[in-house]
Structure 1
């Protein structure tokens, strides 16, 4: 039995909705504004890392029967610690609280201005997480709720802004500026890398598999194949929307000048096109995008911790994560960001190399130490990348190839693979 085309499309749209949050809205228009005439080159780099890596992550986890199984190839203890940190980082310790605080800044603050108070934010977060919790209580129904309703609504609102591009007086794209003044492809790749969707991809597979099984698909091989197909659909949607947002950003730069971030770029553009109504449209876009991501993350974290501690039900975990995230979004997000962002920067290269190893596994599984050696050296490389962030900046670090681009860990990964090839299993 296979998924019908309509069902597969809904599952793909659900995966897209889970990926597409506030960060995905902000980075592309800022890229377009800053890159100007070189937007197409920057867009290639951005799509490679912001679309290619996450979709490969979904496929890698599907092929490996889950993140825990994939990470166990390194070591069972590594799998436990790595997976735990992944879920906490993209869950209640960073990503989930950020969905509420970001949507509040874009949905409520522009309309209330100086009347924005901590009490108002508390009320907003209570409503936001109540809605997210209600929709997350039945994770197998996400394809009906996100895929059928929220995702089409989100895409429709984005298209309204995009269609407005055809009614502006385009004065030509500006010259690349800021971080995009040179090396546009590399900078685009790095900005896509910073969306952190590759880490989320390692977790979303479990929820997508649940939705596929809820359609009556019981064969494990068919679940994997359907997950991979859904990943490609989500990738096409992500790439298409990113291109639209990059075009919006590049045109905004030509009529509104330059801004400090992508949120300001979008705000200036919609106000230029639609006046006050533009802020209503943009607020709705941010609310839906953040809500979709919040729902997906609550589902993933609750499923994982329910498997870890089955005595606590999935629904209780969902309630716990919604409550904790609501509190953090109001009282401690800044401190959590200071702690969690360095941890994410440490975990991200490990996630990427695990995905790479999963794809080349048919050719390397005969080498018994390939996974532990490569992941260990990658971890060393990402730790060295972390040192300047936490205040230990040594001159020798900058001599590592690509270190100044936050990609110095790549050399360590390559060395790890080469050393791993020296240890073939005895037959």
Structure 2
């Protein structure tokens, strides 16, 4: 039988997996720029960085399989291709970003090292730990996250009660949708479809739990982890808004440094930098190990596939990780505009009742999402193209969410058509 301790352990593990140290740099700047509208961006950010990832875990609690199972109702091949795309993006963006965040938060303020040198040494160590699968990372991880949480809660509490003057007006034209899009940068929705399968396997190994017990444990743990994420993310956004009269910057890591020094002094700033560096390292090891395990399974459990994938992942980390955080964030936007709508659609379809998600519905809705996410993607990669003027009439185009209403409409129509066909067949049979 699942017990409360097991649920809490699972919830803590989920929180640790979601709240990668790199995620801490996004909420404060979002709040700083949102100013007096910080609640609206918090709601948008929470939707894409908390609610959708938690729904992904609900999907896993129902499927109790792997990430590929999210796309399996369309076809087995689609599920594998989707998984491959997610891991490729993870290796090319959030993994290198951990080195960039480490450099800007922990190394650059204290040492005169070049970013290339740091990323080279960083991913050489990552490669070593991936190949050796040392237990030390698990031990470090158990203590790192609690320490970071305690520091962040102290920073948030002290910062919110600080006398910082009037909160500035928002600079955003669309606060809610801006919060949603910034939440994409956490990669938490992708994390939900990746780590959920790992947790399902872990629950199976932890004890003699049946399907229903594992589903309840994962669902309750997901709600607990989501509540923790909401508190931390919401607190950091509110903190940024509260200091909007004290600092104006576009640099995410500079703002985190400023907030930690203003609340906890130099010691707090240094401590946070060290903990973030260690947490970033364990995140990079986890991402590359997961991708290498996936490729190993795809190629008949061949160890060579594991080693090659780990090497390629670390090589990408060295090349991309030497760039600064703003550059990596900017580069990530087109990929996120493509993969996030698809991921959100697959998550929602997999938690919807089976009678409303036939194979036809899956295929039509996913195809519609891919088609109508193209305008958002194209606007980023070719902002000066005349084609953008033709697509600008689409609903929610200005909010970079042109795929939402068409996908919802196709979902409703496909279910209406399926229901009509079933009723017609039932009348014929009678």
TM-score (norm 1): 0.86
2:300 aligned to which of 310, 330, 338 = 310
Quote the residue 1:279 is aligned against: 269
Preserved contact between residue 21 and residue 293 of structure 1 (Cα < 8 Å): yes
Distance 1:241 1:337 in 2: 21
Q: Is there any run of 5+ residues in structure 1 with no aligned partner, and where?
A: none
Identify the residue that residue 38 of structure 1 maps to in structure 2.
37
Change (3 A) 1:396 1:355: same
Task: Specify the alignment match of 1:189 in structure 2.
Answer: 180
Which aligned pairs between 1:249-288 and structure 2 lie closer than 5 A? 249-254=240-245, 256-288=246-278
Q: Structure 1 pair 241/175, CA: closer, same or farther in 2 (3 Å)?
A: same
2-side partners of 1:340 and 1:39: how far apart? 24
1:126 matched residue in structure 2: 124
CA shift digits 1:99-146 (9 cap, x unpaired): 223222221111124x43633442233335545665x5679x95x663
1:201-252 superposed Cα distances (whole Å, 9 cap, x missing partner) = 1111121123222321442332232222221121011011112212321233
Query: Which deviations, in whole Å up to 9, do the C-alpha atoms of 1:321-362 show, x marking residues without a partner?
Result: 443333222224569988765333212111111111122233
Distance 1:369 1:64, change over 3 A: same
Matched, 1:225 2:212: no
Q: Do residues 159 (structure 1) and 147 (structure 2) align?
A: no
Question: What is aligned with 1:235?
Answer: 226
TM-fit CA distance, 1:11:
1.6
Alignment-derived partner of residue 73 in structure 1 = 73
**Deviations for 1:381-423, whole angstroms, at most 9, x for unmatched residues?**
1123222222245111111010121100112202321332213
Pair 120,303 (structure 1): closer, same or farther in 2 beyond 3 Å: closer
Cα–Cα, structure 1 residues 185 and 166, in superposed 2: closer, same or farther, change >3 Å?
Answer: closer
**Does structure 1 conserve the Cα–Cα contact (< 8 Å) formed by 2:61 and 2:219?**
yes
The residue aligned with 1:61 is 60
In the alignment, what sits opposite 2:165?
Answer: 171
TM-score (norm 2): 0.86
Query: Counterpart of 2:381 in 1: which secondary structure?
Result: coil
Range with greater deviation from structure 2 (183-192 or 227-236): 183-192
Aligned to 1:89: 89
Corresponding position: 1:331 with 2:314:
no
Deviations 1:172-202 (A, max 9, x none): 32222x22xx432332233223433112211
Give 1:274 deviation, angstroms: 4.2
Matches within 5 A, 1:45-56: 45-56=44-55
8 A contact 1:207–1:300 mirrored in 2:
no
Query: Do the aligned partners of residues 156 and 296 (structure 1) sit closer, same or farther apart at CA in structure 2, a change above 3 Å counting?
Result: same
- Number of matched pairs: 413
Preserved CA contact (<8 Å) 1:71 1:79:
yes
- Selected match of 1:342 from 325, 334, 349: 334
* Unaligned segments of structure 2, at least 5 residues: none
Partner Cα separation in structure 1 for residue 115 and residue 335 of structure 2: 31
